[in-house]
Structure 1
């Protein structure tokens, strides 16, 4: 079975006709560049096959482009352009290129050789502009490492003042672990959630992916966030042969720490930024392989059938599910955990985005406190008390695309958009896309 789409050449980034080829439960992206030949990359491996994972969406109406002009078309004129099929669900704003780690898997290629940080006034203006363009989207403050900035609480406050209803910090957690006052300051400024880089439970995993043993610092950061009542999501970059064997243990740890930990989010490594290797031969972890690993490593407590395709982004990009956490730490799938549940029926893309944003804010934000016994007056109050006493944990994954797996149909359905200094909103995978020689499609090269 073959489905037409478009892609790019991983060598020269020229746009090419492409097709998705299904072979049993495997999916392959195939295209041929007149200069550089045939490229055939597997993006899906195992049940359910790609056709069985479809959640159709009705594209949003086209809009006038921001900061773009007629030209070569997608993917070269992002801003967003009229060909884009989904509204912004999450705005990513990079506030620094500096970092206190040198991770080999960094998609931002962050480090000391970076441009000067934008001023607080510049960031505040960009936040207002991004809010006007994106509407009431969620915001993720990113970098580099945002905690390198002493004025980070002021940036959080500026994001809230700009009208972003849900503000999340993407961080490695080292500053949160070292400074007990930082998490409360961020919470007081309006921060809702922390997206904490945490690739596993062992020092060996952190050493391999981040360059040093960090298990102690990660636990300290978790404790700091919980004490400050910040929503906390553990985020693992997954590399085959390095840390895939710890996905079950990471979920167990999150369940043990719930409701302080609100979710676990997995990101199979993609070949862009600083990630080494040839994307044609690099080991890849696909979403169904991750589902199988979660089921096997939790002894069937999490089942592949518990998870659903997204209602916001393209079906092939992610999965998620919500689980009740029992008193013994065991997980039971929550029947009402889907961000939307429409079966096979197509939904308007914008409706899916709104439902997804609301689910993220509800699940990844701070846990709601149970009502005091004296405040329980009726059955509804008792229902709320019961719900609050049963913490939920979300388990999700996002499969980023690189130059070898870029499917422009998927890219046009992207809802995670990077706000760049000139005011444009660029789909995340396109912003980070790099050719085989390191040439970037959009991301500026670090300063020498």
Structure 2
């Protein structure tokens, strides 16, 4: 290899065409770290995963080593090796922070981009309540107290969603959150109250950009000229009246939503303390998306950070963010702020400098110093991540620290009311081009399948270039021929 290229780390990946396991490596070329791999049958592939520019962390400086935390109750054995044996298998290196239950694949939108390829309005796309009960009992057995997100499709299309929420609450899980496009929440003022009374804590509200024109390339347009953004604003108002916390969740792509990410952050702040944070997700190429996998534009993690700093320099700086304490370092960044009102009367942010040290570590100052970081216990990172999310994203009435651990982290959470804090985060999901087996093994967001297996989020959604899923049959247990796995 020439002097212009340097191998930084070797790992394993999958061929995006045939999904066979192949060698891969992170290679620095100039100021860009690329993920490179080669399949003996389908050739070489290379995509950027990190751009290192002035003021942004380096590949080496961003790494956060972790001591693995293996499943106490693995649900599958090891036959073919990662990533083919997920369930979770005994070699998975991180506990569950958030478990997703896809309760339906129906949807009242037909977005050009969709992880789940949802859209059919057909009752057969709902998971039966008996299967939901099985999933929740299995989840309580293997990961008691984790946070639960009810997803889809669009969960609010199920008339029995309040009953599902009650069943989750009865089993003693942490945060209960619904992942929603916000249409029903915006159109029906009383609906948020029904969900709150059933036990819901938080709404993960899909919102890509601050205006309808910038949302349209990813979401299309609503019939009859209805404004998607106005409907989402109404959803936030209704959640506020019901006492629900809200997190705005944006899918970012280079040409429509990324150029407006600074304005979206300002909008999130103007919507008030009901909106507890903004979570950004660069477009991952699985499920339904326009174009071909190998020709699709890529949006590396730090490109999002650079855009935030350029578009909203009064709010965000590169030194504010820190790597995750739970998932793999290359999967995300985050920062925790206190809300302020600026001299101009506009909402502002003040970095809570002790947040990273108390929660995930390391603090931004430690990162800038470039010192070698000691390994973090993955189990401890998962505990703190669950606790932070459950405390920070919930509605006001339940904004109490779960558990009774009187440690520094719990004391941090108890200070400066939850409603005055604001989280900014970004998660880079993996698709078939940049899938790294090490990152998969460190995943803490697991989809509870109807057959009883738990699959890391990216593997659950992963599709080859021809649309073939690595783990097909996402609602298979809704059909009579399927049988749940036994522990």
User: TM (normalized to structure 2)?
Assistant: 0.85
Aligned to 1:378: none
Q: Distance in 1 between matches of 2:464 and 2:110?
A: 21
Q: Is 1:331 aligned to 2:340, yes or no?
A: no
Measure how far apart 1:180 and its partner are. 1.0
Residues 222-252 of structure 1: per-residue CA shift (max 9 Å, x gap): 1111111101000000011011111111111
Task: Tell me the SS of whatever aligns to 2:125.
Answer: coil
Corresponding residue number in structure 1 for 2:322: 308
List aligned pairs for 1:389-428, cutoff 5 A. 391-428=420-457
Q: Which residue of 2 aligns with 1:229?
A: 243
Find the counterpart in structure 1 of residue 163 from structure 2: 154
Secondary structure of 2:232's counterpart equals helix
Deviation at 1:367, TM superposition (A): 3.9
Check whether the contact 2:274–2:419 (CA below 8 A) recurs between aligned residues.
no
Q: What SS class does the counterpart of residue 280 from structure 1 fall into?
A: helix
Report runs of 4+ in structure 1 exceeding 3 Å deviation. 61-65, 113-116, 367-370, 383-386
Partner residue in 2 for 1:260? 274
Give the aligned length: 434
1:44 aligns with 50
Aligned-partner Cα distance in 1 for 2:190–2:208:
25
The structure 1 residue matched to 2:24, chosen from 18, 28, 31, is: 18
Pick aligned residue for 1:35 from 30, 38, 41: 41
The equivalent of 1:173 in structure 2 is 182
Q: How far did 1:62 drift?
A: 5.8
Secondary structure at the counterpart of residue 330 of structure 1: strand
2:131 counterpart SS class: helix
Give the match's secondary structure for 2:174: coil
Output the CA distance in 2 between the equivalents of 1:398 and 1:69. 29
Matched, 1:359 2:388: yes
Larger mean CA deviation between 111-120 and 254-263 belongs to: 111-120
**Contact 1:25 / 1:48 at 8 angstroms: preserved in 2?**
no
**1-side partners of 2:293 and 2:130: how far apart?**
40
Q: Residues 384 and 50 from structure 1, CA distance in 2 versus in 1: closer, same or farther, beyond 3 angstroms?
A: closer
Q: Which runs of 5 or more residues in structure 1 are unaligned?
A: 371-382
Instruction: Tell whether 2:294 aligns with 1:284.
Output: no
Structure 1 residues 113 and 366, CA gap change in structure 2 (3 angstroms): closer
Tell me the TM-score normalized by structure 1.
0.92
Aligned partner of 1:100 in structure 2 is 108
Write the deviation string for residues 408-430 of structure 1: whole angstroms up to 9, x where unpaired. 11010000000001111100000
Please give the alpha-carbon distance, in whole angstroms, between the structure 2 residues aligned to 1:271 and 1:440.
12
Structure 2: gaps (5+ residues): 1-5, 222-226, 367-372, 400-411, 477-487
